[in-house]
Amino acid sequence: MKIDLLRKLPEHMDTLVLLLDSKSKVDDIDHLPTHFKESIEAYVKKEEFKPEYGKMKSFQTVFKKHVSNIILCGAGVAANLTADKLRRLFADITRSAIRLKASNVYLFPSFAPPIGDTQYGHVLAEAALMTEYKFTKYLSQEKPHAIGSLHLALNVKSTRYINRGIIEGRLYAEVTNLARNLVNEPANVIYPETLAEAAKKAALKYGFSIDVYPMDRIRRLKMEAYLAVGKGSKAEPKLIVMRHMGNPDAKNKTIGLIGKGLTYDSGGYCLKPPQSMLNMKNDMAGSAAVIGAMCAAATLKLKVNIVAVVAACENMISGEAYHTGDLLRTMSGKTIEVINTDAEGRLTLVDAIHYAITKEKVDKILDIATLTGAAVGALGTEITPVVTNDDAWLAKLEAASEFTGEAIWRLPAHESYNELIKSQIADLKNTGGPFAGTITAALFIREFVGNKPWIHLDIAGTALRDKESGMYSVGATGVGVRLITQLLREMA
Ligand code: BES
Ligand code: MN
Ligand code: ZN
């Protein structure tokens, strides 16, 4: 989809969108020529359209000479609009345009929104391109409708900032959609080796460096917890390390991004029931998020040093698989008693974190993982729980979340819960019992970050949608890609 500022009004508009705030009428849209206005006004009157926020109406016209389709979209009180509220409107408009099989869309807002031009361009492009995304690769009949172009009619002093925003928003959407593709692919297509291949391809395209370490290397690194999880699978684990060194002179300033990369999670011998297992091809959404963020960071040439680590593997059953009761020695030397083979994500993450700290010398750690069903129970599918040991860094994440609209909420990492992950025979056990599962999983991970600033995002609830809404289609949301990208920008 081509997205730009409207320069010259064409003779014929395929689809005209009027974005009306509570105060304005069609007549107020000064950059809409009179001959259009007259024909349109009659329609709007007839529809008795009240431009409340989120109200939409679309119809085909009879004056096809000028306009084939009209979409009316209410924005409510313009002063109350935020970037995310606009994103939602642009998403709804895009959906409606797709439904009308629109080829060229002309968007006429009746007001100037209370956000900067760059952000305006950003949310427009991002929302349009993210809404257009649908995973239809394996449907031999149905192909999704693609809108050819979207033109924004806006009187701005300088087109520079809007255009910059459009480019930015396009990038955010593109790398998010890349992550969504990886997550939506089934486990017979994306397994550790092909996930690594996809990361390599992205590295080449977007310009960051990458190493993929095979089994023997992982063994030499003594990442025994990680290896234990992958043992039951025929698919060999791959340790994926991606680097963007945007500020080589900076000392002690490397950010480590750790993404959970379970390309499939059957639960292991603590086998999941079929319904819960179905979505476990998506258990690598954390790794997709860090791959997407690396693509963005490299494109934006962010002046920060970032090392992303994905300990990719599959949690399966076989004669080789790990057992409950196994005692594992992690790369850090800390020992773990396996209470449940389905609490595998944290086992891979802590070895990846220790690797990032000791071998890649990262100074800060952000991990992102589809880690606990309890996260879904606690906050549902709209809000990502966060656990952190660093208030200042969290403030930056909150600012990023405000910008991208990916909601987060902090959970308390209360010391007393540490009792729940103590084992009689090892330093830690890998589950904390039936209560506060998201917190105990986070506390387990915290044992491996030392005194480094740390942010933990549990995206088990937010990585997937089972209904389309806003910018999201059914399937992967790409949650975290934009959030982490924005956070990195706040830190650069
Ligand atoms: N990958 C799952 C978590 C998950 C659940 C992600 C639902 C997305 C949707 C994780 O590996 C897991 O199985 N967690 C267990 C932990 C438990 C055994 C302590 C869980 O949440 O049930
Ligand atoms: Mn599991
Ligand atoms: Zn898992």
- pLDDT-derived band at 44, boundaries 50, 70, 90: confident
The string of pLDDT tens digits covering residues 73-88 is 999 999 999 999 999 9
H/E element, 240: strand 238-245
Measured from the Cα of 340, ligand 1's closest atom is 18
| Percent above pLDDT 70 for the chain | 100
- CATH homologous superfamily for the domain 2-153: Leucine Aminopeptidase, subunit E, domain 1 (3.40.220.10)
CATH 3.40.220.10 domain extents, the chain: 2-153
Determine whether 346 is an active site residue: yes
Query: What's the CA-to-centroid distance between 488 and ligand 3, angstroms?
Result: 26
Q: State whether the beta carbon of 283 lies less than 6 angstroms from ligand 1.
A: yes
Supply the pLDDT for residue 453: 98
The string of pLDDT tens digits covering residues 438-468 is 999 999 999 999 999 999 999 999 999 999 9
CATH 3.40.630.10 domain extents, the chain: 173-491
Supply the pLDDT for residue 319: 98
- pLDDT-derived band at 210, boundaries 50, 70, 90: very high
CB-based burial of residue 327 (10 Å sphere; 0-12 exposed, 13-18 middle, 19+ buried)?
middle
Right CATH number for 173-491 from 3.40.630.10, 3.30.930.10, 3.40.50.300, 1.10.3720.10? 3.40.630.10
Amino acid of residue 290: V
pLDDT at 353 over 90: yes
The string of pLDDT tens digits covering residues 212-244 is 999 999 999 999 999 999 999 999 999 999 999
- Which of 194, 282, 266 lies closest to 233 in space, CA to CA? 266
Q: What is the mean pLDDT of residues 14-36?
A: 84
Question: For the CA atoms of the chain, what is the radius of gyration?
Answer: 24
β-strands 254-259, 305-315: how paired?
parallel
For residues 42 and 489, the model is more confident at 489
pLDDT at 124 over 90: yes
Q: What is the mean pLDDT of residues 350-369?
A: 98
Q: Give the residue, out of 342, 344, 458, 466, with the most ligand 1 atoms within 8 A of its beta carbon, to mutate for a pocket test.
A: 342
Ligand nearest to the CA of 338: 1
Q: Whose Cα sits closest to atom 13 in ligand 1?
A: 342
- pLDDT-derived band at 179, boundaries 50, 70, 90: very high
Distance (Å, rounded) from C-alpha 336 to C-alpha 359?
22
